[in-house]
Amino acid sequence: METETRTEEITAPDGVTVVAHSWLPPGGTGAVRGWVQLVHGAAEHGLRYDRFARRLTARGLGVIASDHRGHGATAAHTGGLGVVGASGWRAVVDDLRLVGERARSRVPAVPLVLLGHSMGSQLARDYAQEYGHGLAGLLLTGTFRSLPGCDPQTALDELHRQIEREGRAAASTFVPRLFGSFNDPYPFRTGFEWLSRDTAEVDTYVADERCGFPFSAGLALDWVAGNRKINDPAQQARIPRDLPVHLAVGDQDPCHARMSLVYGLLEDFRYAGTRELSWRAYPQARHEILNETNREEVIGDLVTVVERWI
């Protein structure tokens, strides 16, 4: 028997259609002993996690991943890639809860672990602040405390001015500028060498038209505002202290500014009283550790963490 896959459309309370993908172990819902909800990063989509999802289903875990507003298959319902309409970050967090509850309705009374990558790790932190009591664990990969090299107030002012002139759907240079220097340490081949040492994985990303797109001004604004919210100590303190947390990053990931934005995030969790906090930095690995040359090691480690919590 093989992994059972499914893609479905879920209608959010505001009428937006959110596309979600799920993977079930051999045996279907009757074999599920826990759920892992994947939260993808910026300018990518949920189906990029198929390999990891299948590894989880082999251990009897169900997996669900939705495409955020402005991303993947959901983008067709929000105005296109990078466009989110009037609602961005806050709506996506609520979409994640809706999608997670859909999974729970299929197989109730089993634990749910939330795994967020990159921007998705920040969405996952927001989810944990709002709905953390329903989680069995929080796993953050390719994570960083705040947007590297970004002054939030300056960025918000600039994006507000652009939106006043051109509207929320206008293309923004914010994300390309934010990540513009990330590839500098590497010989230029595609401009995305900072993602992984595996050239085949980089080429797959570049060839995927649903990856690497710019954000609209509205989505960029929402990301900056969401980042400010999750880093407010009062909001951080809302994460249940007994929620287990694990961070996993590549030590050469340019997103965390030479680990400083990882150390800062760890300190936030410690200060807020998180009782079970663990982390690992993989030597020489870059941003997408699930697509790195040592991905078998990474996947094995993450499966072990999830199974401990389940």
Task: Grade residue 87 by pLDDT with cuts at 50, 70 and 90.
Answer: confident
pLDDT tens, residue by residue, 249-289: 999 999 999 999 999 999 999 999 999 999 999 999 999 99
According to the model, what pLDDT value does residue 86 have?
A: 86
- CATH number for the region 4-148+229-309 comes to 3.40.50.1820
pTM: 0.97
Contact between 29 and 107 under an 8 Å Cβ cutoff? The reply is yes
Task: Grade residue 1 by pLDDT with cuts at 50, 70 and 90.
Answer: low
- Tell me how far CA of residue 288 lies from CA of 41, 203, 218, 252, in angstroms: 10, 13, 26, 11
- Please give the share of the chain, as a percent, with pLDDT higher than 90: 95
Rounded average pLDDT over 133-144: 98
According to the model, what pLDDT value does residue 180 have?
A: 83
Task: Tell me the two tokens of residue 130.
Answer: 């709002």
pLDDT at 85 over 90: no
Task: Grade residue 128 by pLDDT with cuts at 50, 70 and 90.
Answer: very high
The structural domains of the chain, with segments of one domain joined by +, span 4-148+229-309
Rounded average pLDDT over 52-78: 97
pLDDT at 90 over 70: yes
pLDDT at 33 over 70: yes
According to the model, what pLDDT value does residue 178 have?
A: 86
pLDDT tens, residue by residue, 179-220: 888 999 999 999 999 999 999 999 999 999 999 999 999 999
Q: Share the mean pLDDT of the chain.
A: 96
Rounded average pLDDT over 99-121: 96
According to the model, what pLDDT value does residue 255 have?
A: 96
pLDDT at 116 over 80: yes
pLDDT at 129 over 70: yes
